[in-house]
């Protein structure tokens, strides 16, 4: 078995932390793509398409490397909530999520040469009722600025959440069990440390 070079096609510090948490050494090469949803595109399809595009883009530049791509979307009703454009946009998203249950979908893709495979994890997240003062104070932390749905479950945003049903790490941005299963299905063995290729 050999140790493949692992490339994360994301600049997300949360995804870097999660890979390091489970002992997968990696380098970072963000994939810059247009993340605009296609007209009528379902959230799960949108998320998976972007994860695959990110992984494939970097894999084309890094032959022989195993590239991991991921994309997270927050969905309230039928509305996809991406990263807020500004503080006003963040406030609007948080008002929409207040006192409601929404879905978070994180797609993960792996690519290496001719290999491209992916899956999507869905998680139900419930928010407590947020006052205007809560929203103002949270936006003032700066945390919502670079996060889908304008919140991060691993930081100050954890206090906005009443509960979740599903994979906590998927809400953070990388479903670890689904990632390792995806790798194992394609010949990359995870044994509580570096990935090995059979």
pLDDT (tens digit per residue) in 113-172: 999 999 999 999 999 999 999 999 999 999 999 899 999 999 999 999 999 999 999 999
Helix (H, G, I), strand (E, B) or coil at 74: strand
For the entire predicted model, the pTM comes to 0.94
Scanning 62-119, the segments in alpha helix (DSSP H) are 87-97
% of the chain beyond a pLDDT of 70:
100
Helix (H, G, I), strand (E, B) or coil at 17: helix
- pLDDT computed for residue 123 by the predictor: 98
Distance CA 136, CA 131 (A): 9
Residue 1 pLDDT exceeds 80: no
Helix (H, G, I), strand (E, B) or coil at 31: coil
pLDDT (tens digit per residue) in 13-71: 999 999 999 999 999 999 999 999 999 999 999 999 999 999 999 999 999 999 999 99
Distance CA 44, CA 49 (A): 8
pLDDT-based confidence at residue 78 (cuts at 50, 70, 90): confident
- Asked whether the beta carbons of 134 and 141 are under 8 A apart, the reply is no
Residue 134 annotated among the catalytic residues of the structure: no
Helix (H, G, I), strand (E, B) or coil at 127: strand
- pLDDT computed for residue 198 by the predictor: 80
pLDDT-based confidence at residue 178 (cuts at 50, 70, 90): very high
Distance CA 25, CA 195 (A): 9
The active-site residue out of 71, 87, 89, 134 is 71
- Asked whether the beta carbons of 120 and 105 are under 8 A apart, the reply is yes
Distance CA 176, CA 197 (A): 18
Distance CA 142, CA 150 (A): 10
Cβ-based burial of 105 (10 A; exposed 0-12, middle 13-18, buried ≥19): buried
Scanning 2-140, the segments in alpha helix (DSSP H) are 13-21, 43-61, 87-97, 132-140
């Amino acid at each position: 078995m050999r140790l493949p070079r692992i490339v994360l096609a994301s600049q997300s510090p949360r995804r870097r932390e999660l890979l390091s948490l489970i002992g997968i050494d990696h380098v970072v090469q963000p994939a810059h793509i247009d993340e605009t949803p296609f007209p009528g595109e379902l959230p799960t399809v949108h998320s998976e398409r972007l994860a695959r595009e990110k992984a494939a883009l970097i894999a084309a530049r890094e032959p022989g490397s195993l590239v991991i791509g991921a994309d997270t979307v927050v969905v309230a009703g039928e509305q996809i909530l991406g990263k807020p454009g500004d503080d006003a946009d963040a406030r609007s998203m948080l008002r929409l999520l207040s006192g409601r249950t929404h879905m978070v979908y994180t797609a993960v893709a792996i690519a290496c040469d001719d290999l491209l495979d992916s899956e999507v994890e869905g998680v139900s997240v419930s928010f407590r009722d947020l006052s205007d003062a809560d929203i103002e104070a949270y936006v003032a932390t700066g945390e919502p600025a670079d996060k889908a749905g304008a919140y991060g479950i691993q930081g100050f945003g954890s206090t906005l959440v009443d509960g979740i049903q599903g994979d906590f790490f998927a809400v953070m941005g990388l479903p670890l069990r689904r990632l390792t299963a995806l790798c194992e299905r394609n010949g990359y063995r995870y044994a509580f440390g570096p990935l090995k290729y059979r």
